Amino acid sequence: MTACEPGSLVRRAWPDELDTSKRVVLIAVGTGSVGMARAALGLLGERVVRGVVIGPDSVIGAWADRPEVIEAMGADHPLATDRNVAAAERALAVAQGCGCDETLLTLISGGASAYLTAPGAGIGLEDIRAVTDALLRSGATIGALNCVRKHLETLKGGALARAGQGARAHWSLVLSDVLGDPLGVIGSGPTAPDLTSFGDALGVLRSRGLLEAHDRVGAYLARGEAGEIEETSDGREAFWDRVRHRVVGNNAAAVGCAAATLEGIGFEVVETRLGVTGDACEVGRALARRVLAQGDDRPRAVVWGGETTVTVGEATGLGGRSQELALAAAGDIEGRAGVGVIAFGTDGIDGPTDAAGGVVDGETGSRLRLRGVEVGACLAEHDSHRGLGLAGGLIRTGASGTNVNDVMIGLIGIGGE
């Protein structure tokens, strides 16, 4: 959606202080890296002397007018690969090369945590991948997941800011994909102080029952808790006085845009809500009930924004949180004409699938039943992608080049006068 286009957000929130910088070093990382970088380059011109932009191949590969002073590197998400490690090493080198006559400009957006993967000494990429996958399958929140990653890696938890402390100033513009915009959690906080500890990271794994299965990770974190590995930066080092942050956009912009669009086509938006979290199925059913409670069929809409979770466990189905949310809502609105639920990720990628999310109505359940499939069975196997695909309910947009969490919409009076 245009309201969350990274370049537009950067231009609107541009700090005046950057216009006085004569030499700028640029590092952009995340889903919105190219859009943010192009906007910054347009504003700074030849004052950008070097830099690196790291993001998904879909946006990196389409950047045809990249200036020669900028290196572009594709990387993978959500599980890091060797390409991500190479990209992180390059970002580290660029930051470390900053001189006292240069300003470091970092542009951080969703996905940066995976794209800047730099395992600590004694930890392998395979360990990072395994524990990340296990935490995602366990339904861990982004805060819990990134707490662990910050203490297994060397560029998170303020470490990129520490690497760039040779610069005379450091501005970090952040496109938030985390509810509440906590700088230490977005992208695992590479340019922000970290208030979590090795002990906190151990607690996350312990609470999820994952310590025994990931013994090397547990041993590494235990060494950190014992003081054998340097803790992340908590903001008390002198270089933090030269670091400034600005959040340029977040989920509120997406929810506002969705609500305005619905009003423009004749729906009364009776409720907008931010910060929606919880199990995707439960949230989907709650959204369905909220819409059904309207009582009559006048065109009305409920628009929520947030980020739900799915506890996959050992299930082998394919899906994502937005697809699961929509499919769960289908059960509650079955048989109701003129009622629908839409849920999608603003990045255009919901889970490890080719879909952004799903759309359902009162006939989704019966359409599936004609194909010999039950909504409940799909949900039990976390196989929402197959279920929505069979019902014609997948939303496919391709990668959007931005990421500001998810949007969930309930509608009543569809097709009415």
How far apart, in whole angstroms, are the C-alpha atoms of residue 122 and residue 337? 59
In the predicted structure, residue 32 carries a pLDDT above the cut 80: yes
Per-residue tokens: 90: 């390059």
**CATH (residue range 2-118+153-196+232-249):** 3.40.50.10180
The pLDDT value given to residue 416: 57
How far apart, in whole angstroms, are the C-alpha atoms of residue 252 and residue 275? 9
Is residue 1 very low, low, confident or very high in pLDDT (cuts 50, 70, 90)? Answer: low
Average pLDDT, rounded, for the chain = 95
Assigned CATH class of 251-412:
alpha beta
The pLDDT value given to residue 297: 87
109-150 pLDDT, tens digit per residue, is 999 999 999 999 999 999 999 999 999 989 899 999 999 999
Residues 6+ apart with CB under 8 A from 253: 3, 4, 9, 404
In 155-250, alpha helices (H): 159-163, 198-207, 215-225
The pLDDT value given to residue 238: 97
Is residue 4 very low, low, confident or very high in pLDDT (cuts 50, 70, 90)? Answer: confident
Helix (H/G/I), strand (E/B), else coil: 234? coil
How far apart, in whole angstroms, are the C-alpha atoms of residue 138 and residue 210? 9
Angle of the 125-137 helix axis to the 142-150 helix axis, nearest 10: 160
229-287 pLDDT, tens digit per residue, is 999 999 999 999 999 999 999 999 999 999 999 999 999 999 999 999 999 999 999 99
Average pLDDT rounded to a whole number, residues 199-228:
96
pLDDT top residue among 415 and 267: 267
Residues 6+ apart with CB under 8 A from 378: 317, 327, 368, 384, 386, 387
Q: How does strand 357-361 pair with strand 339-345? A: antiparallel
Identify which of 45, 50, 31, 37 has the alpha carbon closest to the alpha carbon of residue 11. 37
Average pLDDT rounded to a whole number, residues 77-91:
96
The pLDDT value given to residue 415: 80
Per 3-state DSSP, the chain is made up of helix, strand and coil in percentages (nearest 5) of: 40, 20, 40
Handedness of CA 97, 99, 102, 105 (dihedral sign): positive
Q: Where in the chain is the domain with CATH 3.40.50.10180?
A: 2-118+153-196+232-249
The residue whose two tokens read 């949180």 is 321
Main-chain phi, psi angles of 178, to 5 degrees: -125, 130
What secondary structure does DSSP assign to 348-378, as a single string?
A: S--SSSS-SEEEEETTHHHHHHHTT--HHHH
Query: Rounded to two decimals, what is the model's pTM?
Result: 0.90
Average pLDDT rounded to a whole number, residues 151-169:
97
Average pLDDT rounded to a whole number, residues 208-230:
96
Q: Where in the chain is the domain with CATH 3.40.1480.10?
A: 251-412
Query: Which amino acid appears at position 144 of this protein?
Result: A
